[in-house]
Chains A and B, each alone.
Chain A
Amino acid sequence: MEHPILFISVILQALGLPVPHAAPQPGHFGDLTQLLSPHMTYTWLVMIFLILMPKITMGKIEMIPGKGQNFWEAIISGMEGFMADNMGKEGARMMFPMLATFALFILVGNMIGLMPGFMSPTSNLNITLGCTLIVFFTTHILGFKFHGVKYYKHFLGPVWWLIPLIAPIEIISHFARILSLSIRLFGNIMAKETLLGILFMLAGAYFAPLPILCLGVFVSIVQALVFVLLSILYFSASMEHAH
């Protein structure tokens, strides 16, 4: 397959920077040129976009909101309502900054790959795994915060003689969460990107990728929603009492 043209990589190469085209070989993980690989640069692009865009469009916050402020207020209050429905007002207020960041980052990261010349940072397993590990550790930190040391009872099941059976099972199912969250997002977005690339290469002049572009919008929204919703469910499960 032809190499896709990614404009940030092209610019960086024109500036004379070494842009890697492959993952590092085993044993070469200190390779700093990996910071310039496409998924990293596009992660930074999404971050810059998300930092600058509200600043530019919103302007000063006023009592009577203008166009930009209305838009962002609708997004923020919509997300907060969604979280409050699923994890209660208190939990929503506490976890809102993190979950809203995930929602916006994953949504924009998924969507950006639909434009030619861009790629989705979430189509790389490392990015999604990073997000998922943050969710995983936050889940358990929340558990310890809300239950103290007694949080370990979440892993022990109802009766004491079932402990040797239940404890490994619970730990395995917690680790399965890491894999299923990260690989679902990665797999969906990578499939979208690969399919689009192949269709552009084969019949791009005949609008063959159009239906997949429409599906791509749908998949992007659904996967961002699912990621946030599942992290909300995990958080609220670790905050409630042991069963």
Chain B
Amino acid sequence: MTKTGIRKEMTKLIADFSTIGMTVSFSIFIGVGFGYYLDHKLFEGKTSPWFTLIFLGFGVAAAFLNLYRMATRKDIRDE
């Protein structure tokens, strides 16, 4: 690969991988927030805290799924 090709690949990878931290935290927050909304607004606290906990689990799972996909992606060429 040429030098500029490597540079382009590098910028793409840096942009892509710099999102990992934010994606993890935001996935968890969205999960918790949606579960809290279901518990306290839609069901008026009758189901508290179950939906919050379940969607916290979903959020954490989403975060880890993103990490897993980043780790197993095919388009990283090692040269």
The interface of chain A, by Cβ under 8 A from chain B, is 82, 85-86, 165, 168-170, 172-173, 175-177, 179-180, 183-184, 225-226, 229-230, 233
CA distance A225 to B10 in the complex (A): 13
Chain B contact surface mostly = helix
In the complex, chain B residues 21-77 whose Cβ is within 8 Å of any chain A Cβ: 22-23, 26-27, 29-31, 34, 55, 58-59, 61-62, 65-66
Q: Can you name 10 A-B residue pairings with CB atoms under 8 Å?
A: A169-B58, A170-B62, A172-B31, A173-B27, A176-B30, A180-B23, A184-B22, A226-B18, A230-B19, A233-B12
Does B1 belong to the interface (CB within 8 Å)?
A: no
Chain B interface residue number, banded: 20 to 34
B58 contact set on A, CB distance < 8 A: 168-169, 172
A165 contact set on B, CB distance < 8 A: 61
B27 contact set on A, CB distance < 8 A: 172-173, 176
In this complex, the member of A175, A230, A233 whose beta carbon has the largest number of chain B beta carbons within 10 angstroms is A175
Contact among B11, B62, B66 for A225, CB-based, below 8 A = B11
B30 touching A179, Cβ below 8 Å: yes
B66 contact set on A, CB distance < 8 A: 173, 176
A183 touching B30, Cβ below 8 Å: no
B26 touching A226, Cβ below 8 Å: no
Contact among B15, B30, B34 for A226, CB-based, below 8 A = B15
By Cβ-Cβ distance, the 6 closest A-B pairs, closest first, are A180-B22, A176-B26, A169-B62, A179-B26, A172-B62, A229-B15
A168 touching B22, Cβ below 8 Å: no
A175 contact set on B, CB distance < 8 A: 30
Contact among B12, B23, B34, B65 for A86, CB-based, below 8 A = B12
B75 to chain A, nearest CB (A): 11
A172 contact set on B, CB distance < 8 A: 27, 30-31, 34, 58-59, 62
A86 contact set on B, CB distance < 8 A: 12
Of chain B, the residue at the smallest CB distance from A226 is B15
Of chain A, the residue at the smallest CB distance from B18 is A226
B8 contact set on A, CB distance < 8 A: 82, 85
B12 touching A176, Cβ below 8 Å: no
Of chain B, the residue at the smallest CB distance from A167 is B58
B59 contact set on A, CB distance < 8 A: 172
CA distance A193 to B68 in the complex (A): 36
A197 to chain B, nearest CB (A): 25
CA distance A176 to B16 in the complex (A): 14
Contact among B12, B19, B34, B61 for A180, CB-based, below 8 A = B19
